[in-house]
Amino acid sequence: MAKAVFTVNALKILFFVLGCLMLATLIYTLSTDGSPFRRELFTPGMAAILVDFYINVIALAVWVAYKESNWISGALWIILLVCFGSITTCAYIVVQLFKVSSQDPLQDPMYHVLLRHWNNGDVERNRTISFVLVARVLFSALGCLMLGTLICTIIIDGLHSRRELWTPWMAATLVDLYINVVAIAVWIAYKGSSWITALLWIVLLICFGSLTTCAFIVMHLAHLSSQDPLYLVLLNDHSRQRTYLSRDASVSS
C-alpha cells in the first residue's frame, strides 16, 4: 500500500512539473520567437520531428479514446492533445492519478490509471471487426511512415547537426516530444518483464522516438489473439492475468 501511494504521488509530481515546464517553454518561445506558423520554420528536420511527435500523439489518443467512456469528453481531450501536445498529456495523466487516489486498495495504481472503470471486453470479442488486427496494421503503417521519414530526412538534411537548423521552435517542439516520450516510457517500464528489458526499450525510445513506440506496441499486440479485447495491450503480464481471471470468474458466475 505504501509503495503504491508513493508511486501515485511521485507520478503526480513528475507530470505536474513536466506540464508546467512545457507551458513555460510555450509561453517563452511565443514571446521571443513569435508565431510557429511561419514557412521558414518548416525545414525537413522540423517536419520529421513533427511526424515523430504526432505518431506518439496518435498512440496516446488511442488510449484517451478508450479511457473516456463518453465520446464527447474523449473527443475534447483528443483535440486538446493535438493542439497543446504534452501539456494535455500531463494534465490528463494527473487527472487520472487523482482518480486513483480515491480507490481502495491501491495494490496496482497503473492498472487503474490505464483502464477505465468498466471494460467492454466481452462486447469486443463478439464483434466482427478485430481491433487488435486494426491496431497492428495502424501502428505497423505508422512505424513504416516514421522510418521512411527518418531515412528521407537524413538523406536531404543530414543529422540535424547544423546550428542554423536549431530554431527556438524546434527546441520547443523537442521538449514537447520528449515529455510525451516520458509518459510512454513510464508505460514501458510498467510493462517490462525485467528492468533490463524496460531500460533497453526506453533507451531505444529516447533514440528513435515513435519508431520505437510503434515497434513496442506491435510486438505486444502480436502476443494477443485477434479476438482479445484491445485494452489488454495496456497491461503487464501480471495485470493481464488478473483481468483474465476476473473475467472468467464473472462468466462462470
Give the pLDDT of residue 250: 46
Identify the residue with better confidence: 243 or 237: 237
Residue type, 62: V
Which residues have CB under 8 Å from 57's CB, separation 6+? 81, 82, 85, 180
Over residues 102-109, the mean pLDDT reads 59
The residue type found at 138 is L
In 3D, which of 215, 240, 57 has the Cα closest to residue 136? Answer: 215
180-216 pLDDT, tens digit per residue, is: 999 999 999 999 878 999 999 999 999 999 999 999 9
Q: Which segment of 11-15, 102-106, 173-177, 180-184 scores lowest on mean pLDDT?
A: 102-106
Instruction: Tell me the three state secondary structure of residue 103.
Output: coil
CA dihedral over 239, 10, 212, 81, signed as positive or negative: positive
pLDDT score of 81 more than 50:
yes
Which residues, in sequence order, are CB contacts of 149 under 8 Å at separation 6+? 47, 48, 51, 52
At position 57, the amino acid (one-letter code) is V
d(CA 150, CA 240): 34
Residue 212: closest CA among 161, 239, 178: 178
Buried b (16+ CB within 10 A) or exposed e, 105-139: ebebbbbbbbbeeebebeebeeeeebbbeebbebb
CA 46 to chain centre: 21
User: Which of 71-75, 88-92, 141-145, 238-242 is predicted with the least confidence, judged by mean pLDDT?
Assistant: 238-242
Q: Tell me, what's the pLDDT at 251? A: 43
Work out the pLDDT band at 244, boundaries 50, 70, 90. low
Check: CB of residue 228 under 8 Å from CB of residue 132. Answer: yes
> CB atoms < 10 A from the CB of 173, how many?
21
Query: For the chain, which residues make up each domain, given as ranges?
Result: 2-252
pLDDT in tens, 44-54: 889 999 999 99
DSSP-assigned states of every residue in 211-246: HHHHHHHHHHHTTS-TTS-GGGGGS-HHHHHHHHHH
Lowest mean pLDDT segment, chosen from 36-45, 76-85, 167-176, 231-240:
231-240
Question: Whole-prediction pTM value?
Answer: 0.89
